[in-house]
Structure 1
Amino acid sequence: MATAASTLKAVLFDRDGTLVFDVPYNGNAELVRPLPGARKVLDEVRGLGLATGVLSNQSGIARGLLTQEEVDSVNARVEDLLGPFDVWEVCPHEAGDGCRCRKPAPGMIQSACRRLGIDPSEAAFIGDIGSDVEAAAAAGACGVLVPTPQTRPEEVTAAPEVAADLEQAVSLLLQGMLLRGPA
């Protein structure tokens, strides 16, 4: 029996506050610390043959607070700690730059899906703030919010789907509760 979850081909994640503790404008790989359970969840997703990716706004580059090399170093450390990802997307722009990649715009999700050879409707995006689930909706992907203490209450209220943690978010996706399967 085909389930809605069988249409899921990739789970994409926000980086800071979702996979690793958020250190604002972090350019120091030594400060990267995975959130509890992140590696276990990623191993489960990978074990099911689903693609994984990380999509991250990094406006510190445009603001001159970080270099691209520092962001690359932090991302490499994330991979060292959490395993390999099939795709990475980083938006180096500030909010006012008008790019299509900065969340809540759909550009990073669309690009990641193109690179993975899938339609955005076959992807889910998990993040910790409203712009993450807004980007998912704009791209046509499934979005799940995993709030942190920094997540604003109105973002939680506005999110179509909310999970207590990464494990619950992925469990909902795998149970097919969020993805629409073929009619």
Structure 2
Amino acid sequence: MKKAVFLDRDGVINEVLTNRVKFVNKPKDFYFLPRVPEAIKKLNKYFDYIFVVTNQGGVGLGYMKESKLQKIHEHMMKELKKDGAIIHEVVYCPHKPKSGCDCRKPNSKLIVDLGEKYNIDLSKSYMVGDTDTDIIAGKRAGTKGVFLGERDPLADAIFPDLISAANWIIEDAQGVTYKSYKKG
């Protein structure tokens, strides 16, 4: 079986709610967070797949058409590829928040479906996110949870950014003890 890293998008890969951009509704609003291409490229060397799993309620709320969201994801993947970083697939929930769908995180359907499609051992895989819904979705699917931010009691590890998390994920996947920024 294969191993994968599942990444949330907004706040993990790209800026959101910053001085430069509030929400990403067009490719020109998409700004990578520092060292993200480098982190993904590093993860590519040790994992079979890197996926993006994201809630995009703006589609369901009518702020953006699904075709525009797909253009944003194509732009993200193309820009990453220029740096040698590969995202194998992007999946998203387009439904409104609180719509009750199975695919919106904290539900694990998107992760589980990718696991089945690509023959992934979810117990040897990781979900990286910046909200508790990301961590809960990963845990429900059977992955380890890595939180980017200050504190999350459900996370297996906590880091300030994706590059720091990537180093820990690689070490952890290889069974090496590595100092985490986990806070209780």
Give the TM-score range, shorter chain.
0.7 to 0.9
The equivalent of 2:35 in structure 1 is 37
The equivalent of 1:139 in structure 2 is 141
In 2, distance between residues paired with 1:29 and 1:170? 25
Aligned AA (2:68): E
Once the two structures are superposed, what CA deviation does each residue of 1:100-130 show, in whole Å capped at 9, x if it has no partner? 1101111111112122211321321111111
Change in CA separation of 1:167 and 1:33 when aligned onto 2, cut-off 3 Å: same
Structure 2's unaligned 5+ residue stretches are 176-184
- Is the counterpart of residue 9 in structure 1 residue 3 in structure 2? yes
TM-score (norm. length: structure 1):
0.83
TM-score (norm. length: structure 2):
0.82
- Is the counterpart of residue 26 in structure 1 residue 28 in structure 2? no
Give 1:47 shift: 2.3
Q: Which fold has the larger relative contact order, with Cα–Cα distance below 8 Å and residues 6 or more apart in sequence? A: 1
**CA RMSD, Structure 1 to Structure 2 (Å):** 2.1
In 2, distance between residues paired with 1:25 and 1:66? 11
Deviates most, 106-115 or 170-179: 170-179
Change in CA separation of 1:86 and 1:145 when aligned onto 2, cut-off 3 Å: same
In 1, distance between residues paired with 2:12 and 2:174? 19
In 2, distance between residues paired with 1:161 and 1:63? 33
In 2, distance between residues paired with 1:30 and 1:138? 34
Aligned AA (2:40): L
The equivalent of 1:159 in structure 2 is 155
In 2, distance between residues paired with 1:157 and 1:45? 25
Q: Is the 8 Å Cα contact of residues 87 and 116 (structure 1) preserved in structure 2?
A: no
Structure 1's unaligned 5+ residue stretches are 1-6, 148-152
Change in CA separation of 1:99 and 1:111 when aligned onto 2, cut-off 3 Å: same
In 1, distance between residues paired with 2:168 and 2:2? 12
Deviates most, 52-61 or 83-92: 83-92
Give 1:70 shift: 0.9
Q: Percent identity between the aligned chains?
A: 25
Give 1:87 shift: 1.8
Which residue, out of 60, 63, 66, partners 2:64? 66
Q: Is the 8 Å Cα contact of residues 50 and 87 (structure 2) preserved in structure 1?
A: yes
TM superposition outliers: structure 1 runs of 4+ over 3 Å: 157-160
